[in-house]
Amino acid sequence: MRRAHGAMAIGVTMLCATTLPAQTPQQDQFWPELDYFQALTAQTRLFINAQWSLNGLPGQQDEQYGISLDVMLRRPKFLPHVLGAKALEDDRGETVQLRLGYKWAQTIQTDEPSTTNRLFTELTTRARIGSVLMADRNGFDWRWVGGVYSTRYRNRVEAQRPVTIDAYQLTPYSNCEWAYVLGRSGWSSVKCEFGAQFPVLPHLTVIPYYGFLNVWQSSAIDTQAFGLTLAASF
């Protein structure tokens, strides 16, 4: 029965890949990312994030930098000197998590860069279905894109299941996030990831993944990418 529940849960996010409309033109990108978690108290931590979308084409690349505060309803004891980013393991034991933050982004290698300032809040809830951990993250953005204000709602559904091989544990995962721009274009995009978390050093985890982004606008360029995240926590 557990295997059946696990297959069903992972199927929820895998279904995203079969429900996206085909659009052209398309592009391939590389998505490097750096994540840093710093424990502040038993229920709070600081999260600093840097992301890039790179493909060598001027005007189609961007960089993002953010800082936020995570507040947990219940957080397991933070253990030092463990293999991998302990914050990722702690997340699996948290049923409710609130994130408040700010993110700055701009296009790069272009004569007319577009800059975005964004205040956001995210509420994540988690539950187990058999041996699979399901997470539902609801986010709300207050955005200034090139000086023009707009608001956006986001919903991300994720499934992950730790796998232990001898004394080593890796965690395959998949997720999809939909975005809705209020008062304008409605449902505007969906972004999906399929990858795994690999602890490599004390406090450091490497996360390679395949991702794709579909934007439902006439001027959109659909993207598929190889992503690589380095996550560290202390």
Provide the residue-wise pLDDT of the chain in tens; the chain has 234 residues: 444 444 444 455 444 444 444 445 788 999 999 999 999 998 999 999 999 999 877 777 899 999 999 999 866 555 555 689 989 988 888 899 999 999 999 998 877 788 999 999 999 999 999 989 999 999 999 999 888 999 999 999 999 999 988 889 999 999 999 999 998 768 889 999 999 999 999 999 999 999 999 988 656 678 999 999 999 999
Query: Coil, strand, or helix at residue 216?
Result: coil
What is the 8-class DSSP label of residue 17?
H
Using alpha carbons, select from 187, 182, 86 the residue that is nearest to residue 141. 182
The answer to whether 126 and 133 have CB atoms below 8 angstroms apart is yes
Spatial distance between the Cα atoms of 210 and 129, rounded to a whole number of angstroms? 24
Quickly tell me which residue has 């951990």 as its tokens. 133
pTM: 0.85
**What's the pLDDT at 10?**
47
DSSP states of 129-150: ETTEEEEEEEEEEEEEETTEEE
One-character DSSP codes across 37-65:
EEE-SSSEEEEEEEEEEB-S-TTSEEEEE
Angle at 99 between CA 89 and CA 129, to 5 degrees: 45
Going by their DSSP bridges, the two strands 96-108 and 115-129 should be labelled as antiparallel
Q: How is residue 79 annotated by DSSP?
A: -
Instruction: Supply 183's token pair.
Output: 């008062």
Cβ atoms 88, 82 nearer than 8 A: no
Measured distance CA(12)–CA(75) in Å, rounded: 27
The type of residue at 182 is L
Question: What pLDDT digit, counting tens, does each position of 188-198 carry?
Answer: 899 999 999 99
Nearest to 212 by CA among 187, 194, 228: 194
The whole-angstrom separation of Cα 201 and Cα 198 is 9
Q: Kindly state the helix (H) or strand (E) to which residue 163 belongs, with its residue range.
A: strand 163-165
What pLDDT, on a 0 to 100 scale, did the predictor assign at position 201?
A: 93
